[in-house]
Amino acid sequence: MKLYDANAGNAKRVRVFIAEKGIDVPRKVLELGTDTRTPEYLKVNSLGEVPALELDNGDVITESIAICRYLELAFPENPLMGRTPFEQGNIEMWSQRVYSQLFLTIGLMVRHQLPLFADVLEQIPAFADAQRKAMPEKWRWLNKEMADGRPFIAGETFSFADVHGMTALTITDIFELSAPADCEHVVKWAQIMRERPSWSA
């Protein structure tokens, strides 16, 4: 197996997942905007995006969430996506919620703001600004949900939903948009996430 990787949010999601699973996946690290746009890499992923997982038989899986799903099934130890039907549905629900409410908001801000993405899409600075302004309320929503005292986003155990949360947190930390001080439950969760060994993945 080989993971095409880079210093980027969606790739981080897979790196944290791999670290939490405790598995070893060799990596090829690419530079965004250059290595990802070569004809050679476009044969791996026609969208020119990382991450991509190349299997030993040459098959390729792209899309960070699909890669995590593959790894969860291929390496069932240390399950992060739940065992019972309820656990699986609940973790999927929270994963989707954290992805859509937190990661996409900060991710869209980044894509509409950073020069790196100027040739990938038509950047609308006002849209980037709207995403920035939306972030505190997104954290406050999660804070309200976690006010029931659960230690992790989907309940009592660390799961893929926390991996999504850590991915969002990595980017919001960079842009100083992590949870406001009044979000005591999320601030506590975030501190615990930053102390996990997988945080530095």
Ligand X SMILES: N[C@@H](CCC(=O)N[C@@H](CS)C(=O)NCC(=O)O)C(=O)O
In the complex, the residues that contact ligand X under the rule CB under 6 A are 8-10, 32-33, 36-37, 48-51, 63-65, 120
Cβ at position 80, least distance to ligand X in Å: 16
Of the two residues 35 and 87, which places its CB atom closer to ligand X in the complex?
Answer: 35
According to DSSP, residue 27 is labeled E
Of the two residues 61 and 146, which places its CB atom closer to ligand X in the complex?
Answer: 61
Cβ at position 166, least distance to ligand X in Å: 15
Cβ at position 49, least distance to ligand X in Å: 4
Of the two residues 171 and 179, which places its CB atom closer to ligand X in the complex?
Answer: 171
For CA atoms 117, 121, 122, 124, the dihedral sign is negative
Of the two residues 64 and 170, which places its CB atom closer to ligand X in the complex?
Answer: 64
Euclidean distance between CA atoms 145 and 48, whole angstroms: 36
Cβ at position 97, least distance to ligand X in Å: 16
Cβ at position 187, least distance to ligand X in Å: 26
Euclidean distance between CA atoms 133 and 128, whole angstroms: 9
Q: What are 180's two structure tokens?
A: 């406001």
Of the two residues 64 and 143, which places its CB atom closer to ligand X in the complex?
Answer: 64
Q: At a CB cut-off of 8 Å and minimum separation 6, what does 80 contact?
A: 17, 20, 21, 68, 72, 91, 158, 159, 160, 163
Q: 147: helix, coil or strand?
A: helix
